Amino acid sequence: MPPAVRFANVSRHFGPVRAVDGVTLDIAEGEFFAMLGPSGSGKTTCLRLIAGFEQPDEGHIEIFGETAEGVPPYKRDVNTVFQDYALFPHLTVGENVAYGLKIKGVGKAEREHKARDALAMVKLTGFEDRRPVQLSGGQRQRVALARALVNGPKVLLLDEPLGALDLKLRQQMQEELKALQDELGITFVFVTHDQGEALSMADRVAIFNEGRIVQVGAPTEVYEKPRSCFVADFVGSSNLLSPAIAASHGGDAKWTSLRPEKIGVFPIETPVKPMQVHVDGEIKMVGYHGSVTRFSVEAEGVRLAAEVPAEEEVRFDQGDRVRLIWPKSAMVALEDTK
Amino acid sequence: MSQAAATAERDGIFDRLSDLFVTRPKLLTFLLLLPPLLWIGIVYVGSLFALLLQSFYSLDDFSGLVVHQFTLSTYAQLFEEANLQIILRTVLMATFVTITCAIIAFPIAYYAARYARGWTKALFYLAVMMPLWSSYLVKIYAWKLILAKEGIITWLAQALHLTWPLNEILALPVIGGPSLSFSYIGTYLVFVYIWIPYMILPIQAALERVPVNYIEASADLGAEPRQTFWTVIFPLALPGIIAGSIFTFSLTLGDYIVPTIVGNSRLMIGQAVYTLQGTAGNIPLAAVFTVVPMVIMAFYLWMAKRMGAFDVL
């Protein structure tokens, strides 16, 4: 079975800017795939290449085994949920959702029926006659979703679909999107700059930087085993240890990632077990984040961030001398050579 | 201490005024709106009201004096054959001029809104606005020369051995004439030229507000470019087209200079008003003729609203 989407060494240039630079990628059918990266990293251009709004300058794209180059967007079995939803302001919600069906020549009764079902699926029953301007951001997002899904696409593309929503709504929509994808079994390709969103929703994540994919893998894989400083720092946060520091604390002589939540904060003189690494230092800053408390500790000339769950009683203040302890296995050697 | 010093420094009359306006924004709005409201209320609406009043008076045929007595007899005169002809002629001219302007203006406006950036955009504005900087009369006389029998068009037709199609066109009944500058075709061409900026700019403004991702969304949902044009771009540009057509239509309805200089001797509404209030001294009938374009425009806007042209606004 061919992959839902296949990129073979695809590049897209805008003048001197290599927006997408030699991307090779397979997205399996039924996968919830996230493209994660900072702005300008090429993830959105990749999405637009799948949708057909951009054509590759080099390389080859296949959608379900069929060549996609030269095929205009209106001849592709993919639909997009746009970042700012792009709902047509001159049409009602019902007409927006039924738009694709109307274009395909589906009869009025049938498309109204399907539009109603699609709106019910996104929990907007009874909103058919409203105008997009009368809806809240979250409701517009749902309409955009219904408008794309009603066409029965083989691949659904989502361009930062939750970016404009507030935190509560975003968390709720994340769950709903995930549930919807499970239910429909359609391939979802999801672009986001929010690593939390990518990790919590996707089956696999591709991390983009400067037009290239720097790592692809399951969320746990990219989080636990980042291959480069960029990934270690962009996905979650990380203490990056230089080769010399890593080597002197039981690691390899390579750039090394150490997650703040792997570091425990203890009083000086706490005994250290085998396979554990410790370093003594002084607390420079304490940050209270509700569920966790974050310490910034200066030890042996290096600043280390440590994150401690809130239920553990916090006994330390700024200026206290503490012992930081972490398991050796928490140190992940990276491939960077700089 | 420091607070007292801060207030003391702000004791000037202007400081107090700005404090007053900032704390009472409605007062500022009222003061700002007062002069224009007075202007519109007294000068504009007032004169319109005076005009309306005049239209309900009549002219004593014997003495040539205006009879200041309420009557609808002047309105009845509108339905005389000759006057109906004037109205029909003007409305037809305005209709054709408006449709032509819309067809020519749309691609220009679309290019300007979608593709022109930087210096091409500056060039666009220059090209559209520059004709408006020169005198209206100069432009019309220039056109009279261009369209005259000895003018550049005749010369060009001769040079290209295309005199016969020009003569064929001039030989057309009603719209033809002895030369382009003495025919409805000439009047029509000059009207289209003169009013086209008023059509381009509103359409361009409307199209500027159509983000590219509406067009992408439409293509994404399966619409070919032609379908996207008619289902997304055109409906969203419609308020602009209507706004532009209000200009071109009403300006053509009321103009008397263009048909006087370029055209045959048959009157349009503007010329009728000019003649009636001037040489004929028939102010009531002139007023009635002035009411005609107002009624037509009101009807036109009402129809446009009913057809949903303003739903997007």
Say which CATH number the domain at B121 has: 1.10.3720.10
Residue-wise pLDDT tens digits, B189-240: 999 999 999 999 999 999 998 999 999 999 999 999 999 999 999 999 998 9
* Structure tokens that stand for B86 in this block: 């004037």
DSSP SS3 for B11 = coil
Predicted pLDDT at B1:
44
Strands A212-217 and A204-209: what pairing? antiparallel
Signed CA dihedral, B183, B189, B193, B196: sign only? positive
Percent of chain A scoring above 90 in pLDDT: 71
- Please tell me if residue B135 touches chain A, with a CB cutoff of 8 Å: no
Residue-wise pLDDT tens digits, B112-162: 999 988 899 999 999 998 888 888 899 999 999 999 888 888 899 889 988
In a domain, B45, yes or no: yes
Contact A80 B220 (CB under 8 A): yes
Predicted pLDDT at B312:
64
* List of residues 6+ apart from B287 with CB closer than 8 A: B51, B52, B54, B55, B74
Do B209 and B287 share a domain, yes or no?
yes
Q: Average model confidence (pLDDT) for chain A?
A: 91
Residue-wise pLDDT tens digits, A230-273: 999 899 889 999 898 888 887 888 999 999 999 999 998 889 88
In a domain, B68, yes or no: no
* Structure tokens that stand for A54 in this block: 């951009």
- Please tell me if residue B18 touches chain A, with a CB cutoff of 8 Å: no
What confidence tier does B311 reach under pLDDT thresholds 50, 70, 90? Answer: low
List helix spans (H) across B115-233: 119-133, 136-147, 152-159, 163-170, 184-208, 212-220, 225-228
**Residue B7 pLDDT > 60, yes or no?**
no
Which residues of chain B make contact with A52, given a CB cutoff of 8 A? Answer: 219
Task: For chain B, positions 235-294, list CB contacts with chain A under 8 A.
Answer: 235-236
In a domain, B67, yes or no: no
Q: Average of pLDDT values for B28-51?
A: 90
Contact A104 B216 (CB under 8 A): no
Q: Which letter, b or e, does each residue of A309-330 get, where b requires 16 or more Cβ atoms within 10 Å of its Cβ? A: eeeeeeebeeebebbbbbeeeb
Do B32 and B87 share a domain, yes or no?
no
- Confirm whether pTM is higher than 0.80: yes
- Distance in angstroms (rounded) separating the CA atoms of residues A206 and A217: 7
Do B302 and B178 share a domain, yes or no?
yes
Q: Average model confidence (pLDDT) for chain B?
A: 88
Predicted pLDDT at B95:
95
Residue to test with chain A: of B212, B218, B221, B230, most A Cβ within 10 A: B221
Contact B216 A88 (CB under 8 A): no
**Which of A84, A89, A103 is facing B213, going by the closest CB pair?**
A84
In a domain, B136, yes or no: yes
**Residue A13 pLDDT > 90, yes or no?**
yes
**Which of B213, B227, B235 is facing A86, going by the closest CB pair?**
B213
Burial zone of A67 (CB within 10 Å; 0-12 exposed, 13-18 middle, 19+ buried): exposed
- Please tell me if residue B224 touches chain A, with a CB cutoff of 8 Å: yes
Residue-wise pLDDT tens digits, A219-230: 999 999 999 999
Q: How far is B298 from chain A (nearest CA, A)?
A: 24
Q: Average of pLDDT values for B36-42?
A: 90
Q: Average of pLDDT values for B17-36?
A: 90
**Residue A109 pLDDT > 60, yes or no?**
yes
Do B16 and B123 share a domain, yes or no?
no
Find, in chain B, the residue whose alpha carbon is nearest to that of A146.
B221
Do B246 and B136 share a domain, yes or no?
yes
Residue to test with chain B: of A90, A131, A143, most B Cβ within 10 A: A90
In a domain, B311, yes or no: no
Predicted pLDDT at A312:
65
Contact A99 B231 (CB under 8 A): yes
Residue-wise pLDDT tens digits, A22-77: 999 999 999 999 999 999 899 999 999 999 999 999 999 999 999 999 999 999 99
- Distance in angstroms (rounded) separating the CA atoms of residues A109 and A92: 16
The answer to whether A298 touches A281, Cβ cutoff 8 Å, is: yes
Domain containing residue B50: 2-55
- Distance in angstroms (rounded) separating the CA atoms of residues A293 and A307: 6
The answer to whether A227 touches A335, Cβ cutoff 8 Å, is: yes
Residue-wise pLDDT tens digits, B169-195: 888 888 888 888 889 999 999 999 999
Contact A103 B311 (CB under 8 A): no
Find, in chain B, the residue whose alpha carbon is nearest to that of A75.
B222
The answer to whether A186 touches A156, Cβ cutoff 8 Å, is: yes
- Please tell me if residue B215 touches chain A, with a CB cutoff of 8 Å: no
In a domain, B60, yes or no: no
List helix spans (H) across chain A: 43-51, 93-103, 108-121, 137-149, 167-184, 195-201, 219-224, 229-234, 243-248
* Structure tokens that stand for B134 in this block: 């020169």
Q: Average of pLDDT values for B33-40?
A: 92
Do B209 and B268 share a domain, yes or no?
yes
- Please tell me if residue B207 touches chain A, with a CB cutoff of 8 Å: no
**Which of A74, A89, A90 is facing B223, going by the closest CB pair?**
A74
Q: What is the 3-state secondary structure (H, E, C) of B246-287?
A: HHHHHHHHHCCHHHHHCCCCCCCHHHHHHHHHCCCCCHHHHH
Q: How far is A89 from chain B (nearest CA, A)?
A: 6
- Please tell me if residue B76 touches chain A, with a CB cutoff of 8 Å: no
Q: What DSSP letter does each residue of A161-194 carry, written as one string?
A: TTTTS-HHHHHHHHHHHHHHHHHH--EEEEEES-
Do B136 and B185 share a domain, yes or no?
yes
> What are all long-range contacts of B77-81, with beta carbons under 8 Å and residues at least 24 apart?
B77/B285, B77/B288, B78/B288, B78/B289, B78/B292
Contact A74 B311 (CB under 8 A): no
Do B137 and B234 share a domain, yes or no?
yes
In a domain, B165, yes or no: yes
Residue-wise pLDDT tens digits, B254-306: 899 999 999 888 889 989 988 888 877 888 999 999 999 999 999 988 988 88
Do B157 and B287 share a domain, yes or no?
yes
- Distance in angstroms (rounded) separating the CA atoms of residues B94 and B188: 9
**Residue A92 pLDDT > 80, yes or no?**
yes
Do B86 and B140 share a domain, yes or no?
yes
Q: Average of pLDDT values for B95-114?
A: 95
- Please tell me if residue B226 touches chain A, with a CB cutoff of 8 Å: no
Which residues of chain A make contact with B214, given a CB cutoff of 8 A? Answer: 86, 88
Do B117 and B50 share a domain, yes or no?
no
Q: How far is A31 from chain B (nearest CA, A)?
A: 21
Contact B236 A74 (CB under 8 A): no
Residue whose entry in the numeric block shows the structure tokens 């408008």: A147
DSSP SS3 for B153 = helix
Domain count for chain B, please give it: 2
Do B20 and B116 share a domain, yes or no?
no
* Structure tokens that stand for A31 in this block: 């996968």
What confidence tier does B10 reach under pLDDT thresholds 50, 70, 90? Answer: low
Contact B227 A53 (CB under 8 A): no
In a domain, B64, yes or no: no
- Distance in angstroms (rounded) separating the CA atoms of residues B109 and A268: 74
The domains found in chain A, sorted by start residue, are 5-229 (3.40.50.300), 237-333 (2.40.50.100)
